[in-house]
Amino acid sequence: MKDPQYTLEARRHIAEIYSYIKDQNPSAAVGVVVRIHLTVRSLGLFPRMGRIGSAPRTYELLVKGLPFVIVYELRRGKGEVIILGIFHGAQDR
């Protein structure tokens, strides 16, 4: 399977998460973003590791040890994982 691709919105979410955490703890902000990216990379190997999402044709994967959920879709014909967004668990998706 190909490396997961991020939508512009998903990239914006990561930037917002980083910016918010950086204001309180810059080193933690880097660690959170790294863990999000590592979790996304695992989807390239195991695309069905997430649960079926609340929106049609989506999946959701929790970032272990963090309150974030990665929302993604599979494009089966192309063998692609598309990251649609990264949300705090308390946020509406």
Average pLDDT over residues 56-64: 96
Domains and CATH numbers, the chain: 5-87 (3.30.2310.20)
Q: How far apart are CA 7 and CA 56, in angstroms?
A: 17
Cβ–Cβ under 8 Å, residues 93 and 71? yes
Burial environment of residue 37 by CB neighbours within 10 A (0 to 12, 13 to 18, 19 or more): middle
> How confident is residue 61, by pLDDT bands cut at 50, 70 and 90?
very high
> How confident is residue 93, by pLDDT bands cut at 50, 70 and 90?
low
- Reported as a single tens digit per residue, the pLDDT across 22-58 is 999 999 999 999 999 999 999 999 999 999 999 999 9
> How confident is residue 64, by pLDDT bands cut at 50, 70 and 90?
very high
Cβ–Cβ under 8 Å, residues 28 and 37? no
